Amino acid sequence: MAEPKENLQMEKIVSLCKRRGFIFQSSEIYGGINGFWDYGPLGAELKRNVKELWWNSMTRQRDDVAGLEATIIMSPAIWKASGHVDTFSDPMCDCKKCKKRFRADQLCEDQGLTLIKNADGKFALPEGTKCTSCDSKELTEPRPFNLMFKTYVGPVESEDNVAYLRPETAQAIFAQFKNVLETSRQKVPFGIGQIGKAFRNEVTPRNYTFRSREFEQMELEFFIKPDEAIEAIHGSVATVAAGHPGEPQPNWGWQAWHQYWVEERVRFYEGIGLSRETLGFHIQTKEELAHYARACTDILFKFPFSKKDEQGNVKGDELEGIAARSDFDLSQHQRFSGKPQHVFDDELRQAWAKLPKEKQDDLWRRYYENRKNYLTKSGVEAEAAAKQATDDANALAKGNYVPHVIEPSAGVDRLILALIANAYSETTKTDDKGKSETIYTMKFHPRVAPIKVGVLPLLKNKPDLVAKALAVRDLLRPWMNVYYDDGGSIGKRYARQDEAGTPFCVTIDFDTLGEKPELLDTVTLRYRDDGKQERLKISELRDWLLVKIR
Ligand code: ATP
């Protein structure tokens, strides 16, 4: 049977990634290890560029976000509070006949079925589900499988010493919320960003690096005031129309902030070459949302393996989720650690004191209901929840609250894969003798391209050309990743750079040395995507390139 076209596309991408040194299988000489990938020389540069762009746009270029770099192994109490120990699992089932193991929801999805979730939270396979490997219908009932990797801290392998490799970077941000707040001179609304490794023992890693067991995340927790506080201070909470809501305003509630971050993140993707047409959105339904979440919008990318819907449209697969998580996370850590996580807001205290009694009562009641709802849903017994919610609402009236949070959470590796799939382009050229050749070009945006410029002396056996080319390389090197190449014909060298995704090449030729005096100290600059060439002065080269790559 012919290979489906989209898989063929993935195969070509995987093969180019290996051939050119973007991505290798981890531990390949030992047969590899499922769900783990290494980045080769070009992949490492690409990844570094992406992380740096995220870090710059999310922290350095903003006044309202600070950075953090926390450890991978943290107190296991953090994962108890966050809910990961009890509920971070995927339903897994086995084929009794061929012994193949599946993630039950994916197994159903692959057959156009939906996994059944019973009222007691247990899962069941719908009628007709079969093993996709051997067609047997003898499958075990789905059972939860916790995705956290376990290890032991210290020499004794006992339950007391169990620790986990973090399955997300976000929790460290919550756990360090107070320290960052106190040391960064930030005030709510503000965010904390972090980039780092995360580990999930995925039941079935698949789609190349898309679902890996070790990966990196770029996460922002943006802390905001509860809507009741905004209403007390500003009279009402801003309403938002569709699209980017513009510069942040003091009267923004969670909806405006959520929309703002969705749009900011889309702008980020557009800025590195993923146009809106390549992206998709999934707005989580009430049923899909966690009980504490107000909203979650997933930004998707249309990967070659993304499935089509009934109308034949490709929706895409998740690159990033932007969730409005209420005050759940800090509240959980407050309850589990016993350390207060609220902030004091004098503007709120003063504004509250001036409100008419009915308004105070209205806001008090709404805040009380929200807090009680969170506490009871989190398993606090009704009476205790009512008492705690009363204390919390009284605290609000004095200017204290636990901040709410908007969380844009992106995966580095998925983005790298999206950029690679988006950049991949092939054309077949046939020469005069009828010999055809496939040309591969990785059309990366110059901002993310692993190599920014190739520096090529026309001939390598002419010392003057080589010396000049090396001088150009050294001129550019402190500013960008430069690749010097003097091996083979100029056409071959261009082709090599096209495959690596290098957006520009400069060639040092005899005119550079002054053969035509008016062209002394100029180079030929060649564009990757259309092969267009122009002449540029060496003295202007660095600034010209910097504008393109930043
Ligand atoms: P999925 O539903 O695809 O498993 P998720 O909703 O569990 O993803 P989150 O917990 O929201 O993912 O994690 C945030 C981001 O981290 C995701 O959008 C994705 O980019 C990345 N990510 C999550 N799991 C993996 C993984 N196994 N491999 C690579 N990246 C991942």
Q: What is the pLDDT at residue 459?
A: 96
Q: Ligand 1 atom 4: the closest Cα is on which residue?
A: 211
Q: At 371, which helix (H) or strand (E)?
A: helix 357-377
Q: CA dihedral in degrees (441, 445, 446, 452; nearest 10)?
A: -40
Model confidence at 309, in pLDDT bands (50, 70, 90)?
A: confident
If you measure from the C-alpha of residue 411 to the centroid of ligand 1, how many angstroms do you get, rounded to a whole number? 6
Mean pLDDT of 185-208: 96
If you measure from the C-alpha of residue 167 to the centroid of ligand 1, how many angstroms do you get, rounded to a whole number? 10
Among 23, 115, 217, say which to mutate for ligand 1: greatest number of ligand atoms within 8 Å of CB. Answer: 217
Contacts of 449 (CB under 8 A, 6+ apart): 46, 49, 501, 502, 503, 549
If you measure from the C-alpha of residue 527 to the centroid of ligand 1, how many angstroms do you get, rounded to a whole number? 36
Q: What is the pLDDT at residue 1?
A: 40
Q: How far is CA 33 from CA 102, 149, 415, 428, in A?
A: 18, 15, 22, 35
Distance CA 114, CA 128 (A): 11
Q: What is the pLDDT at residue 2?
A: 45
Pocket of ligand 1 from Cβ distances under 6 Å: 168, 200, 202, 211-212, 215, 217, 318-321, 409-411, 413-414
Residues present in the chain in total: 550
DSSP code per residue over 42-109: HHHHHHHHHHHHHHIIIIIT-SSEEE----SB--HHHHHHTTHHHH-EEEEEEBTTT--EEEHHHHHH
Q: What is the pLDDT at residue 121?
A: 80
Q: What is the pLDDT at residue 5?
A: 61
Mean pLDDT of 1-29: 87
Question: Does residue 111 register a pLDDT over 70?
Answer: yes
Q: Ligand 1 atom 13: the closest Cα is on which residue?
A: 409
If you measure from the C-alpha of residue 318 to the centroid of ligand 1, how many angstroms do you get, rounded to a whole number? 7
How does the average pLDDT of the chain come out, rounded?
A: 96
Distance CA 35, CA 211 (A): 7
DSSP state of 59: I
- Per the model's pLDDT, the better-predicted residue between 2 and 300 turns out to be 300
If you measure from the C-alpha of residue 266 to the centroid of ligand 1, how many angstroms do you get, rounded to a whole number? 17
Distance CA 495, CA 523 (A): 19
Condensed to tens digits (0 to 9), the pLDDT of residues 203-261 reads 999 899 999 999 999 999 999 999 999 999 999 999 999 999 999 999 999 999 999 99
Q: Ligand 1 atom 27: the closest Cα is on which residue?
A: 211
Condensed to tens digits (0 to 9), the pLDDT of residues 73-103 reads 999 999 999 999 998 999 999 999 999 999 9
Q: Ligand 1 atom 21: the closest Cα is on which residue?
A: 411
Among 79, 201, 318, 413, say which to mutate for ligand 1: greatest number of ligand atoms within 8 Å of CB. Answer: 318
Q: Ligand 1 atom 3: the closest Cα is on which residue?
A: 318
Q: Pick the atom of ligand 1 nearest to 298's CA.
A: 18
Among 329, 414, 417, say which to mutate for ligand 1: greatest number of ligand atoms within 8 Å of CB. Answer: 414
Q: At 254, which helix (H) or strand (E)?
A: helix 254-271
Condensed to tens digits (0 to 9), the pLDDT of residues 366-425 reads 999 999 999 999 999 999 999 999 999 999 999 999 999 999 999 999 999 999 999 999
If you measure from the C-alpha of residue 321 to the centroid of ligand 1, how many angstroms do you get, rounded to a whole number? 8
Q: Ligand 1 atom 26: the closest Cα is on which residue?
A: 211
Question: Does residue 16 register a pLDDT over 50?
Answer: yes
Rounded to two decimals, the pTM is 0.95
Among 145, 209, 215, say which to mutate for ligand 1: greatest number of ligand atoms within 8 Å of CB. Answer: 215
Question: Does residue 4 register a pLDDT over 60?
Answer: no
If you measure from the C-alpha of residue 352 to the centroid of ligand 1, how many angstroms do you get, rounded to a whole number? 41
Percent of the chain with pLDDT over 90: 94
Distance CA 372, CA 366 (A): 10
Q: Pick the atom of ligand 1 nearest to 412's CA.
A: 20
Question: Does residue 168 register a pLDDT over 60?
Answer: yes
Condensed to tens digits (0 to 9), the pLDDT of residues 316-363 reads 999 999 999 999 999 999 999 999 999 999 999 999 999 999 999 999
Q: At 441, which helix (H) or strand (E)?
A: strand 436-442
- SS3 for 349-363, per residue? HHHHHHCCHHHHHHH
Question: Does residue 37 register a pLDDT over 70?
Answer: yes
Condensed to tens digits (0 to 9), the pLDDT of residues 425-471 reads 999 989 889 999 999 999 999 999 999 999 999 999 999 999 999 99
- The residue whose two tokens read 């520096």 is 455
If you measure from the C-alpha of residue 433 to the centroid of ligand 1, how many angstroms do you get, rounded to a whole number? 50
